[in-house]
Amino acid sequence: MSLQYLPHVLYSLALTSISMHLLRQRKDAEAERAQLAAQISILDSTAHKMRAGEIIPERELNRLLKLAQSQRQLVEEAEPVQTDPIGWREVLLGRKASEVESAKAAEWDRRELESVQKEVQASS
pLDDT tens column, 65-121: 888 886 666 656 666 666 778 888 887 888 787 888 888 888 999 999 999 999 999
Q: Which has the closest alpha carbon to 64: 101, 94, 38?
A: 38
Whole-model pTM over 0.95: no
Q: Would you give the distance in Å from CA 67 to the centre of its chain?
A: 21
- What pLDDT is attached to residue 21? 95
pLDDT in the model for residue 79: 63
| Polymer length in residues for the chain | 124
- Sign of dihedral through CA atoms 11, 15, 18, 20? negative
Evaluate whether 70 touches 35 at the Cβ level (below 8 Å).
yes
3-state secondary structure of 59: helix
What confidence score (pLDDT) does residue 1 get?
A: 56
Q: How many CB atoms lie within 10 A of CB 32?
A: 13
